């Protein structure tokens, strides 16, 4: 199965993507995670991406497309994959169409998580993730047993530097200006499954499963 998960920042893409990819034994490919990893390793690409990410701006298409092209060629993507955070522009969507056609494979579904902007801003500033194993939490909705400590590995929970209110508003504006345009691109291919993303993670997950 080949899936794309689309939605505004803070719509729960990361949380749903992890569960969906695990339940279907397919690769979870997050461009945000790949870019943060490149930045942490201090690669050329990582350095270029880091400053843009910190401002909540999009990384240029050619860099992200190159990253995805390489990642989709890895053996774990042969059984299927779930793209989380890609494509974010129509240019990226067109490039992905080309990559899939060259590999002679097709997408099965594009899941769109719908959450209003004000709910996003409220949600996102409470978001935390484990600095060691990346497990996501939320201080109100998915709190860890001990404040600031990962339930799974005991790692420290941290706030992403782009999860402040100001950066969130910039990222939402980018989403509406650029990313929302990929929805009609996939609607034309009959692939879009709209899911209400406003509930708790378990309820949203059930709705996604139903939509698939
Ligand atoms: P995410 O973890 O998906 O919220 O992504 C975090 C940041 O990484 C975004 O705000 C962008 O700066 C960058 N990013 C991730 N995916 C893409 C993409 N497909 N195109 C451009 N920038 C991206």
- Residue owning the nearest CA to atom 1 of ligand 1: 32
Rounded to an integer, what distance in angstroms lies between the CA atom of residue 23 and that of residue 30?
17
Query: What pLDDT, on a 0 to 100 scale, did the predictor assign at position 133?
Result: 95
**Catalytic site includes residue 194:** no
Residues 6 or more apart whose Cβ sits within 8 Å of residue 36: 53
Which neighbouring-strand residues pair with 201?
none
Rounded to an integer, what distance in angstroms lies between the CA atom of residue 168 and that of residue 171?
5
**pLDDT band at residue 143 under the 50/70/90 scheme:** very high
CA–centroid distance, 85 to ligand 1, in Å, is 6
Rounded to an integer, what distance in angstroms lies between the CA atom of residue 102 and that of residue 39?
29
**pLDDT band at residue 200 under the 50/70/90 scheme:** confident
Which conformational region is residue 43 in: left (phi greater than 0), alpha (psi within -120 to 50 degrees), or beta? beta
Query: What pLDDT, on a 0 to 100 scale, did the predictor assign at position 162?
Result: 83
CA-based max dimension of the chain: 48
Of 171, 158, 208, 185, nearest to 96 by C-alpha is 185
- Residue owning the nearest CA to atom 2 of ligand 1: 32
Write out pLDDT tens, residues 34-89: 999 999 999 999 999 999 988 888 999 999 999 999 999 999 999 999 999 999 99
Flag whether pLDDT at 141 surpasses 90: no
**Catalytic site includes residue 127:** yes
**Catalytic site includes residue 88:** yes
- Over range 129-156, report the average pLDDT: 94
Q: pTM of this prediction?
A: 0.86
Write out pLDDT tens, residues 168-198: 999 999 899 999 999 999 999 999 999 999 9
């Amino acid at each position: 199965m080949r899936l794309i998960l689309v939605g505004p920042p803070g719509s729960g893409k990361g949380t749903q993507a992890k569960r969906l990819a695990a339940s279907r034994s397919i690769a979870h490919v997050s461009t945000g995670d790949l870019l943060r990893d490149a930045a942490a390793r201090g690669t050329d690409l990582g350095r270029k991406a880091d400053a843009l990410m910190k401002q909540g701006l999009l990384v240029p298409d050619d860099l992200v497309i190159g990253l995805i092209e390489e990642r989709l060629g890895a053996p774990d993507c042969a059984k299927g994959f779930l793209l989380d955070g890609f494509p974010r522009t129509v240019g990226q969507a067109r490039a992905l169409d080309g990559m899939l056609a060259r590999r002679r494979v097709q997408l099965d579904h594009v899941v769109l998580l719908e959450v209003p902007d004000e709910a996003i801003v409220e949600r996102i500033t409470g978001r935390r993730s484990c600095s060691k194993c990346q497990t996501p939490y939320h201080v109100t909705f998915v709190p860890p047993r001990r404040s600031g400590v990962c339930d799974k590995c005991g790692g420290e929970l941290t706030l992403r530097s782009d999860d402040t209110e100001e950066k969130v508003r910039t990222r939402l504006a980018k989403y509406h200006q650029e990313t929302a345009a990929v929805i009609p691109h996939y609607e034309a291919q009959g692939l879009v499954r709209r899911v209400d993303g406003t509930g708790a993670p378990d309820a949203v997950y059930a709705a996604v499963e139903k939509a698939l």
